[in-house]
Amino acid sequence: MKKLITSMTLILGLSMTMLTNVAADTITFVHGNNGTSKYCYAETKQQKANHTLGAQITWQVSGSNTVYYASRASGTGASVTSKSKNLKGKKGKSFGYYYVDGKLKHESTAWMNFKF
């Protein structure tokens, strides 16, 4: 757990990490903002490449009613990441989802604010 916490401190704007045990494999979901590159992201990781993972990020820019959906990333490797477009100079909120074997396992319980 100490290694995981140390790794998380390197990620800017980290919102949350969710650990689940799916058939003896640890699945980690991270929803956050990358302040350096100016994008929001949702990332799903697994210790073993046993499952098809999915991740999707959505975002809304302040002053707009439009919610944007990035393409859902999916794959059978160690991790998948869904990213927003570059949001330099924008502020708003983002929302993340993760999937395991094609099934929605989690959606963020709250929008996360960003200001790039």
- How many domains is the chain partitioned into structurally? 1
Q: Which residue has the higher pLDDT, 25 or 10?
A: 25
Note the pLDDT tens digit of each residue in 60-108.
999 999 999 999 999 998 999 999 999 999 999 999 999 999 999 988 8
pTM of the complete model beyond 0.85: no
CATH number at residue 101: 2.60.40
Whole domain around residue 105: which residue ranges? 2-115
* Banded model confidence at residue 57, pLDDT cuts 50, 70, 90: very high
Q: Please give the distance of CA 33 from its chain centroid, rounded to a whole number.
A: 9
